[in-house]
Amino acid sequence: MRNTDTIVILTGAGISAESGLQTFRAEDGLWCGHKVEEVATPEGFARNPQKVQQFYNMRRAQLQDVSPNAAHQAIAGLAGRWRGEIVLITQNVDDLHQRAMEGVTPKGNYACYPMHGSLKRVRCTASEEVSEWDSDLSAEHTCLCCNLRGTLRPDIVWFGEMPYFLEEIGAALDRATLFVSIGTSGSVYPAAGFVQQLRLEKRAHLVELNLEPSAGSQYFHERHYGKATEIVPVFFGGM
Ligand code: APR
């Protein structure tokens, strides 16, 4: 790797697991205790907004009790010394990457794209305006944009909705010389398809860092399996 190359990093729930946040598809994961169609689809929200708000209120509240771990910090540390470009694409809606970057001045170009939204933001369904939010949300809340009650929803990309930043992500994948996928099962598209696209294009070196082989593990050139807090700092440590 040259210090001018573009590193694209894709992260999933596994990178935050050791901070104390549940992943989705583990045996005791979020999708075990909750039905996806009830809490992570626009139809589920229309049917029972209170149940959906409660699910995200619980997860938003949890953020106060967790901190970035050594894997988030290893990426932030790399951003502090890499003269090239780092594009961090995360499917996570926690704010741990953002918090790990606090106090770090990127040496080169750095961008973070939370493609599935954020627990710390809400969106007004009437105006589409997005605002910062860090407390519980309910149907009783009034939005600041149109002063309507009950229009606010978590700014989370649900199944059947379009992820954020797809244009920026597509352009970053075109520039990638190294692609590192961390802590994702590779089961949700479009993120699951990034490695397949890059494999076909044959320009980037493709690395998987995960607890176990993901659904697309065969597309990677290099694979390391173990806990994110152990393997991510080792992988980026030499760069
Ligand atoms: N270190 C590294 N990897 C881990 C760790 C750990 N400590 N713990 C778990 N993992 C791995 C698991 O082996 C699994 O492959 O992280 C992955 C987590 O997979 P999922 O639970 O499917 O989470 P993710 O891939 O982020 O899900 C993608 O699905 O439900 C939607 O929108 C949601 O963004 C989410 C998307």
Q: What does the pLDDT read at residue 151?
A: 93
pLDDT of residue 40: 96
User: What is the number of the ligand 1 atom nearest to the C-alpha of 36?
Assistant: 30
Is the beta carbon of 130 within 6 A of some atom in ligand 1?
no
Question: Mean pLDDT for each consecutive 10-residue tract of the chain (239 residues)?
Answer: 87 98 90 90 95 96 97 98 97 98 97 98 96 94 91 96 98 97 98 98 96 98 98 95
Q: Is 207 in the pocket of ligand 1 (CB under 6 A)?
A: no
**Predicted pLDDT at 117:** 98
Closest ligand 1 atom, residue 18 Cα: 7
pLDDT for the residue 3: 72
- Please give the pLDDT value at position 43: 96
The predicted structure's pLDDT at residue 220:
98
- The pLDDT assigned to 130 comes to 96
pLDDT attached to residue 2: 75
Q: Note the pLDDT of residue 33.
A: 85
**Ligand 1, pocket-test mutation among 72, 182, 188, 235, most atoms within 8 A of CB:** 188
Ligand 1 proximity of 227 Cβ (cutoff 6 Å): yes
Backbone angles phi, psi at 209, to 5 degrees: -120, 110
pLDDT score of 58: 95
Catalytic-residue membership of 72: no
Please report the atom of ligand 1 found closest to the CA of residue 157.
32
CB of 10 closer than 8 Å to CB of 179: yes
Q: What is the pLDDT of residue 89?
A: 99
pLDDT at 28: 86
Question: In angstroms, rounded to a whole number, what is the distance separating the alpha carbons of residues 27 and 25?
Answer: 6
93 CA closest ligand 1 atom index: 34
For the chain, report the end-to-end CA distance as a whole number of angstroms: 8
Q: Give nearest CA residue, ligand 1 atom 28.
A: 188
Q: How confident is the model at residue 156, as a pLDDT?
A: 98
| pTM for the structure as a whole | 0.97
Q: Which residues of 129-165 are buried (b: 16+ CB within 10 A; e: fewer)?
A: eeeebeeebeeebebebeeeeebbbbbbbbeeeebbb
Of 34, 11, 46, 2, nearest to 151 by C-alpha is 46
18 lines ligand 1 (CB under 6 A): yes
Task: List helix spans (H) across the chain.
Answer: 30-33, 36-39, 42-47, 49-62, 70-81, 96-100, 166-175, 194-201, 228-237
Ligand 1 center–CA 140 separation, angstroms: 33
127 CA from centroid of ligand 1 (Å)? 32
| Residue of the CA atom closest to atom 10 of ligand 1 | 14
